Structure 1
Amino acid sequence: MQNPFKDQYTVITFIYGILVAIITGIAFYIRCLPKADVFGGSFVKFGGNDPWYNMRIVENTLTHFPHRINFDAYTYFPHGQYHPFAFLFDQILAFIIWVAGLGSPSHELMELIGAYYPAVLGALTVIPVYIIGKEIYNRNVGILSAALIAVLPGQFLSRSLLGFTDHHVMETLFATWVIAFFVIAVKSAQDRVTMDHILNKDLNHLKKPIFYSILTGIMLGSYILAWKGGVLSVLVILVYLLLQAVIDHMKGKDLAWLLLISIPAFVIAILMILPYLAPSTIDIRTVAALAASILGVAIFAGISHLLRVKEIERAAYPFVLIVLAGTGLFAFSIIAPDLYHSMMAMFNVFSPKAGSLTVAEIHPMTVIHPDPLNRPDYVNIGGCEAWVWFTTPFFIAFIAYAWIVYNLLFKGGKGEELLLITWSALMLYASFGQNRFAAYYAVNVALLTGFLAWKFIEFGAPSTVHEPVKADAKKRHEPKAHKYSFLKKYINLDLVLIFIIIFVVIFYPPIFTPRTGALDSARYTGGPQTDWYESLTWMRENTPDFATDSFNYYTLYPDIPRGEDYPYPSNAYGVMSWWDYGHWITRIAHRIPIANPFQAGIGGPHQGDRPGACVFFITRNETVANEVMDALGGRYVISDFMMADAWNAVYNKFGAMTVWAGDTDGYYGRILNEKGQYETVLTEKYYSTMEARLHILDGTWIERIEPLKNYRLIHESKSMMPITIGDDPIRFVKIFEYVKGADLVVTPSPGLNETFATVTVEVLTNQGRTFNYTQPATLADDGKFHFTLPYSTEGPIEGETQFDTAPTGPYTIEVGNVTREVRVTERDVLDGGLIEVNM
């Protein structure tokens, strides 16, 4: 049997294959570093917010496999919502789990595989990166680029970590495969395929470009099915085709090859997504964008052919395209104005506004860290997101941009290089629109930096260093002193020094930078703290369960007409919290959030002045808060310290609430302290908001801040925050119940000329903390004092909230120097029962 490794080309191919496998393994190892954080506690800690909802979809799908919900009644109460997740990410995961569990997987197996899923996808991205570098330049560029994408910190790493089970990593993987196959299609067709080859059906010239165009289309369709915004890759390809068309026409070349490599891809993508059009996920705009791209490429080629036949000046071509594009868009806006405006709105992804900018993944990527003191000469690159997410490769990549553009302008660069630079520039632009696209741009940074690193190696290496190719077949079979002696020319002191420089400059900062480098930043994946998990588990076990056999967390809800609300059971209710926590409430508590991370239920001026979370938490009027809760069917409120953290002692989410509410001023003031220095303090306006009155003040009365009459603390978590009220540190998570409150009417004794009264009760929380709930009242026109009491002194009742935070004894009524005690039942609190006391 012939030794397959006798051929030098085969040996080199095998070595590079081993290197790619090793790099993939390293990428997987880094992405599994948070294993202790994910699996080390009392629950599997999926990262962030959306991963919890992805696992909710997977869990529901496995219950009804292979069917999944498009509409979810367990979020966005009291409406329900078509969730915007395209199905492929969750469906593939559900299929893997279903097969691994032999059709009946356990909950533990589901969470184990679900946690490892993004790490596997992230590691596999190494392969298309290698292929792109190899096909555009050579295998060495491919290896350097693959090694860099494996270790780059930032958005791509964080979105492919163990436990971060969200579709972002699949987006990047499929989008990279789209370019990998399209690069090969471009290489195999440019300057090789003409219209004559197409008309004569010359398969020798056509089969490879068509094959890779079809593979491009399969990956493009898969990308769109994994994320509804996958039309972004369509834009990349279309812009490249336009630029390539102009360049080739100006050179007098036939553009038929552009039709061959693009139209099959677009058609395949359309055929893949058509069966899965669904509200809020993949809609007709995506199909329209693909169809328009097919028409656009046909116009590029058709106009070029017509101008060449008519022997019209080549320079007229771009101007004709501009006129046609403008005319076409104008006609489109007249014929189908709704679809036109809807499609134009898709470009808002590059320029988010208003409340959307408070979403972590949406705000623009920064290159210079903003100066907190607004100094005009301030420059801090080290603190910016570009440095934190990429370190040196981000800035080195710009040298590669210049190099490649120079090649294209003055050396007749290849079509693959034009594709690389077009793709990279668009991804950079997208990252400056929304930082979520920095996960995509990591691939571009790796390729551009890998290209430059290899150029540096070529510059300093002996001229004999080159990559063996198949064309060297004759040389491969020449006698050699030793079968591996050719490797010696790759090993010399100059190369060793060059590789040391490359490692120190390009690879060391992304891997080893303290706190933000890959090895440090990959150890934690985020997700709910133990306080949140414990609190939501408590809610699941201690609040009324409205689920039935036909309506519960696992129901396969039917699609309902757009704009209609789900017909909930009469006893169903919503949970008010900030939108960040909606998916945790759904999956952990099995309760229905009013707001969720799809930015639904926030309300306020940026959502048509509808009632919602920002209105509730920022209002300073309890009556308005009650109207919001009544309108939205809310019964419980969950808050964490970050929602109230205007001090920014841990993380300030209060500011985001004010932005969404359109009320950002007046929460901070400046006072002169004892040292004669001005310091920033929180104002009465802050302490008057529902969020501060709930989480900071426990709903009780302090000077100039009215107590809350319809909200009672029923549970709090263990962890204590760095801010104290009196001598008590504030707890991290608190759960409140919205109640009618018992109606206490106090009649003062004749001759008691007091016009002011208070009622007070000591409350003991489940953490052993005590505070006094005090409510004042002034004498009403009927000569009585009226109170609305939210706490029951007699404990919970069956079928209602099993609260573990409650008064230690009866209320004390004080009118002047006269006191009385009164006890209040839970039923009176829930139903607004009347209690009358004569002093």
Structure 2
Amino acid sequence: MFPTVAAWETGASDSNRPGAVEIWDGSLEWMNEETPAPGTLEDPDAEAMDPTGTYERPDNGNYDHPEGAYGVQSWWDYGHWITVHGERIPNANPFQQGATAAANYLLAPNATAAQTALDEKMGEDGQTRYVMIDSQMANPNSKFSAPTVFNDDVSFDEYIDVVYQQRGEQLQPVRLRTQQYYESQMIRLYAYHGSAADPAPVVLDTQQRTVPTRGGGQTQVRVSEGEAQTFGSLAEAEAYVEENPGAQLGGIGDNPTERVEALEHYRLVKASDAPSRNYLNSYRRLQRQTNASAGSLLRNTPSWVKTFEKVPGATIDGSGAPAGSEVRATVPVEIPANGNRFAYTQYATADANGNFELTVPYSTTGYDEFGPDNGYTNVSVRANSEYRLRTASDGALYTGTASVDEAQVVGVDDAAVDVELSEEQPLQLGGQSIQASG
């Protein structure tokens, strides 16, 4: 689901943005009021910690936090804001304590590496409950490069692919993204809200060109040829790329080259009301450079700050799928603060018996039973329907639905949700059988 042109234009007309800390205030106030106080996570009767209080430092330097304590992950720039305005414990702060672990987490290429980075900071017995990412952190033209300075295993160039456009006598750079950018933990959260993200049929033609350097030598660069093309289907786009060696699928805006798998344990729980003007401007510039449509560049509205919760997740045990088929589970989710919607999607492959399993982070019911008063989050981002599951095989469509309770997502109820897919019967129209779309 792409943001509307109205959202795009809203960012353009907002010329007097408040200071950065004020932009974060709404999210930090929400965290202060709608999440459990440190020390009371899952135990409201426990003694709350004072994030700004003074505590005696142990001889070994490792303070033993109470069981209900938790950390908030973000970039170190925002650590003091999280402490003072959110009254929560940041994993990293402007003293650059935790900066390397934060960089490793934000740039982690998969869920295992992300968890390893959290363990590196918190220890295996500690826990991080929330992650806060703002539009500057996700923007390659802003702070995205900062974590690469603290991570010795990567460089900024691995996330960015530069091609050039001929503008008169000059070649001007166009900054595209690599698959590694899309698969970083930070972008999987900010751009996709933890959902799986498939490539869109958007293609940019390029060719290698030898150009002179200022030092009198020569170098090879990629030069884009014409406008970005949007095909009618992904299959058509992939066929075009196969036949044209200089053509590139994706890498433009939020469009990956390959599928980005869903995150099983993270859900969006709060988003700022307004979109980021700077982020939208960077996409508007990319739109002018490639002539791609606005709707083909952005997957979700780029709110200034997005807050995610790390949860155990609910298990969906499925059956009735054709052996080896790919099952897609999708739930529509709404952000009441700004009226925007998105879909969380996850895929699973059925085994030889037609069984499959999913771990999902978004609940569909039971929200009113949980909040800070009983040690949990009062989420402001909520599903407005059940999960819809579907798969197809040999022209037949198999579907099902699943209702997931908040208690199952946060680990209070460990019972799995059982779903058996059933084959949809074709519709009979004018004597012809037409398979329902599901």
- In structure 2, the CA distance between the partners of 1:621 and 1:782, relative to structure 1 (3 Å rule), is farther
3-state secondary structure, aligned to 2:103: helix
> Which residue matches 1:541?
33
> Which residue matches 1:820?
400
1:668 and 2:160 correspond: yes
1:761 and 2:343 correspond: no
> Which residue matches 1:566?
63
Letter in 2 for 1:602: A
CA contact (8 A) 1:780 1:786 kept: no
1:640 and 2:195 correspond: no
3-state secondary structure, aligned to 1:815: strand
1:530 and 2:27 correspond: no
Which among 612, 620, 643 is matched to residue 109 of structure 2?
620
CA contact (8 A) 1:795 1:806 kept: no
> Which residue matches 2:76?
579
> What is the distance in 1 between the residues matched to 2:108 and 2:54?
37
Letter in 2 for 1:626: Q
> Which residue matches 2:144?
654
> What is the distance in 1 between the residues matched to 2:72 and 2:352?
37
> Which residue matches 1:732?
304
TM-score relative to the length of structure 2: 0.64
- In structure 2, the CA distance between the partners of 1:616 and 1:833, relative to structure 1 (3 Å rule), is farther
Give the Å deviation of 1:566: 1.3
Q: How does 1:294-373 map onto structure 2 within 5 Å?
A: none
CA contact (8 A) 2:51 2:89 kept: no
> What is the distance in 2 between the residues matched to 1:687 and 1:780?
29
Give the Å deviation of 1:534: 0.9
- In structure 2, the CA distance between the partners of 1:672 and 1:626, relative to structure 1 (3 Å rule), is same
> What is the distance in 2 between the residues matched to 1:792 and 1:823?
8
CA contact (8 A) 2:323 2:352 kept: no
> What is the distance in 2 between the residues matched to 1:678 and 1:536?
37
Give the Å deviation of 1:529: 3.3
3-state secondary structure, aligned to 1:827: helix
Which among 659, 664, 688 is matched to residue 183 of structure 2?
688
Q: Deviations over 1:377-429 (max 9, x none)?
A: xxxxxxxxxxxxxxxxxxxxxxxxxxxxxxxxxxxxxxxxxxxxxxxxxxxxx
Give the Å deviation of 1:539: 0.3
**Larger strand fraction of residues:** 2
> What is the distance in 1 between the residues matched to 2:48 and 2:105?
32
1:629 and 2:118 correspond: yes
> What is the distance in 2 between the residues matched to 1:824 and 1:625?
25
Letter in 1 for 2:90: P
Give the Å deviation of 1:696: 1.5
- In structure 2, the CA distance between the partners of 1:728 and 1:709, relative to structure 1 (3 Å rule), is closer
> What is the distance in 2 between the residues matched to 1:602 and 1:781?
46
> What is the distance in 2 between the residues matched to 1:685 and 1:733?
22
3-state secondary structure, aligned to 2:85: helix
- In structure 2, the CA distance between the partners of 1:597 and 1:674, relative to structure 1 (3 Å rule), is same
Letter in 2 for 1:637: V
Q: How does 1:154-193 map onto structure 2 within 5 Å?
A: none
Give the Å deviation of 1:783: 4.2
Letter in 2 for 1:617: L
> What is the distance in 1 between the residues matched to 2:352 and 2:97?
44
**Could you tell me the percent identity over the aligned residues?**
33
Give the Å deviation of 1:668: 1.5
> What is the distance in 1 between the residues matched to 2:52 and 2:132?
23
> Which residue matches 2:260?
705
> Which residue matches 1:716?
271
3-state secondary structure, aligned to 1:729: coil
Q: Deviations over 1:412-467 (max 9, x none)?
A: xxxxxxxxxxxxxxxxxxxxxxxxxxxxxxxxxxxxxxxxxxxxxxxxxxxxxxxx
Letter in 2 for 1:720: P
Letter in 2 for 1:732: W
> Which residue matches 2:318?
746
- In structure 2, the CA distance between the partners of 1:779 and 1:671, relative to structure 1 (3 Å rule), is farther
3-state secondary structure, aligned to 1:731: coil
Which among 589, 602, 610 is matched to residue 99 of structure 2?
602
Letter in 1 for 2:137: M
- In structure 2, the CA distance between the partners of 1:778 and 1:727, relative to structure 1 (3 Å rule), is closer
Give the Å deviation of 1:806: 1.1
3-state secondary structure, aligned to 1:654: coil
Give the Å deviation of 1:666: 1.6
Q: Deviations over 1:108-163 (max 9, x none)?
A: xxxxxxxxxxxxxxxxxxxxxxxxxxxxxxxxxxxxxxxxxxxxxxxxxxxxxxxx
> What is the distance in 2 between the residues matched to 1:757 and 1:661?
36
> What is the distance in 2 between the residues matched to 1:748 and 1:818?
8
> What is the distance in 2 between the residues matched to 1:747 and 1:673?
51
Give the Å deviation of 1:555: 3.7
Letter in 2 for 1:669: D
TM-score relative to the length of structure 1: 0.34
Query: What is the Cα-based RMSD across aligned positions, in Å?
Result: 2.5
Give the Å deviation of 1:679: 2.9
3-state secondary structure, aligned to 2:333: strand
> Which residue matches 2:13?
none
> What is the distance in 2 between the residues matched to 1:595 and 1:554?
15
Give the Å deviation of 1:630: 4.7
> What is the distance in 2 between the residues matched to 1:673 and 1:622?
36
CA contact (8 A) 2:264 2:359 kept: yes
> What is the distance in 1 between the residues matched to 2:346 and 2:48?
43
Structure 2: state its 5+ residue gaps.
Answer: 1-15, 40-45, 199-258, 284-293, 422-438
> What is the distance in 2 between the residues matched to 1:550 and 1:540?
13
CA contact (8 A) 2:300 2:342 kept: no
Give the Å deviation of 1:531: 2.6
Give the Å deviation of 1:580: 0.5
Give the Å deviation of 1:584: 0.5
- In structure 2, the CA distance between the partners of 1:834 and 1:558, relative to structure 1 (3 Å rule), is same
Give the Å deviation of 1:753: 4.4
Q: How does 1:786-801 map onto structure 2 within 5 Å?
A: 786-796=357-367, 797-798=370-371, 799=374, 800-801=376-377
- In structure 2, the CA distance between the partners of 1:577 and 1:779, relative to structure 1 (3 Å rule), is same
Give the Å deviation of 1:719: 2.2
> What is the distance in 2 between the residues matched to 1:657 and 1:702?
23
> What is the distance in 2 between the residues matched to 1:745 and 1:754?
16
CA contact (8 A) 1:714 1:737 kept: yes
Letter in 2 for 1:761: V
- In structure 2, the CA distance between the partners of 1:673 and 1:729, relative to structure 1 (3 Å rule), is farther
Structure 1: state its 5+ residue gaps.
Answer: 1-523, 604-611
Give the Å deviation of 1:553: 3.5
Give the Å deviation of 1:718: 1.8
> What is the distance in 1 between the residues matched to 2:405 and 2:112?
24
Which among 776, 789, 809 is matched to residue 385 of structure 2?
809
> What is the distance in 1 between the residues matched to 2:346 and 2:178?
22
Letter in 2 for 1:718: D
- In structure 2, the CA distance between the partners of 1:536 and 1:678, relative to structure 1 (3 Å rule), is closer
> Which residue matches 1:588?
85
What is the aligned length? Answer: 300
> Which residue matches 1:516?
none
Letter in 2 for 1:552: D
CA contact (8 A) 2:37 2:49 kept: no
For CA contacts below 8 A with separation 6 or more, give which structure has more relative contact order.
Answer: 2
Letter in 2 for 1:778: T
> Which residue matches 2:430?
none
> What is the distance in 2 between the residues matched to 1:779 and 1:674?
49
3-state secondary structure, aligned to 1:720: coil
**Larger helix fraction of residues:** 1
Which among 344, 347, 362 is matched to residue 773 of structure 1?
344
